[in-house]
Structure 1
C-alpha cells in the first residue's frame, strides 16, 4: 500500500487545506466583547453587524456566513445557559425529578458542545 500523493498547487493554500480560522480569534478582547453585546442586544441585523465588523478592515475579514454561524452559536449558548439557570432556580420539592436532572444535563452538554465546536473551528477541522 502506497502513501497518498500530495501535489503542490497555488490553488491549495493553507486556508483551503486546513479551513479558515474563526474570525473572532482575530478580534481584540474589546471588539469581541462589543460584538457579543450587540448580538445579545438583538437590535441589529446580521448585515448591520457585518458592516460594523468590516469597518476599516479588508472586506474578506469576515464572511456573512461565518458571522451568521457565530451569531447562531452565541444565541444557542445563551439559551443553554438561561435554561441551566432556570432549572437550577426551580424549588427543590423533596428531591429533583428525573426531568429536571435531564434538563440540567442537556443544558450543560449544549455549553460543552459549543466550546468543542469553537475549538475545532480554531484548529481548522470544521
Structure 2
C-alpha cells in the first residue's frame, strides 16, 4: 500500500491555501512553497510539493476541459455560466461550513 502524502494529511484549510498559492505561481516555485509549509509547521519536501503540484495541475486541467466541453455542447452560454457560478458557490459554501465546524460553531 502506498504511503499517504504529508500534504494529503494536512488540514483542509491549509491545503486550500497551498492550492491557491500553487495556482497563482503557475504550479512552480516549489521550494518557496515547501519553505512556506515548513513555516506552517508541515515537514514537506520540495519533492512532495512537486508531486502534489503535478496532481493539482492535472485535476485543474481536467476541470477546465470539462467546463469547455460543456460550453461547446450547450447552446445556451448563459446557462453554462450560471451553472459554473453555482458550482463555485457550492464549493465556497462547503469550505465555509467546514471552517465553521472546525471552530466549533456547529
Q: TM-score range by the shorter chain?
A: 0.5 to 0.7
Relative to its length, the structure with more helix (as a share) is: 2
Q: Which one has the largest radius of gyration?
A: 1
Identify which of 50, 75, 93 aligns with 1:68. 50
The alpha-carbon distance between structure 1 residues 37 and 92, as it changes in their structure 2 partners (threshold 3 A), is closer
CA offsets 1:48-99 (integer angstroms, 9 cap, x no match): 10110011536xx212111100001101110111011001101558xxxxxx
Alpha-carbon offset, residue 19 of structure 1: 4.8
* Moved >6 Å (runs of 4+): none
Of residues 18, 26, 33, the one that matches 2:9 is 26
SS in 1 for 2:3: coil
* Aligned pairs, number: 74
- Name the SS of the counterpart of 2:41 in structure 1: coil
Q: Which runs of 5+ in 1 are unaligned?
A: 1-17, 94-126
1:56–1:38 CA distance, 2 compared to 1 (3 A): closer
Matched, 1:37 2:47: no
Q: Is the 8 A contact 2:7 2:48 kept in 1?
A: no
**Which of 18, 21, 36 does residue 52 from structure 1 map onto?**
36
Question: Could you say which structure has the greater relative contact order, defined with CA pairs below 8 angstroms and 6 or more residues apart?
Answer: 1
**Kept after mapping to 1: 8 A contact 2:7/2:15:** yes
TM-score by length of 1: 0.51
